[in-house]
Amino acid sequence: MDSLLDLIGGVLLVMGTGFLFLGGLGLVRMPDLFNRIQVGTKATTLGTILTLVGAIFLHPEWGLKLALIGLFLLFTNPLSSQVLARAAHRIGIKQSPATKVDRLIELPWRRP
């Protein structure tokens, strides 16, 4: 008979990988690069953090290592997505026609 903590951990695991699946689906379906960067960072970060929390519920004695993995993911994942989006904007990758606003192009310190 499973305890309540195991059930909570399993449900959190399924929720986290469900968000990973939504991220992969968005990676295929989104129209241009910037939408793909956004869906590929936010959804997968949430999914991985939820999966790590579920693993903490399943095995509480691994908590320190799993929390460390989640902390490093929270540090490095937005950094890489921001650097990649800035580089893609600077080399002039076109946006989708459905995107109306581009705040970065009207900044005064932007190099031509």
- What CA–CA distance (Å, rounded) separates 66 from 60? 10
Residues 17-76 that bind other proteins (CB under 8 A): 17-18, 20-21, 23-25, 27-28, 33, 36-37, 40-41, 44-45, 47-48, 51-52, 55, 58-59, 61-62, 65-66, 68-69, 72-73, 76
Our CB check for other proteins shows the closer of 62 and 96 to be 62
Tokens representing 15 are: 């929720």
Q: Is 7 one of the binding residues for other proteins (CB under 8 A)? A: yes
Residue 83 in tokens: 């650097």
By CB under 8 A, the count of residues binding other proteins is 53
Distance CA 70, CA 72 (A): 6
Measured from the CB of residue 103, what is the shortest distance to other proteins in angstroms?
19
Quote the least distance from Cβ 30 to other proteins, whole Å: 10
DSSP assignment string, 48-86:
HHHHHHHHHHH-GGGHHHHHHHHHHHHHHHHHHHHHHHH
Query: Per CB under 8 A, does 102 bind other proteins?
Result: no
CB of 10 to other proteins, least distance (A): 3
Cβ-contact 73, 79 below 8 angstroms: no
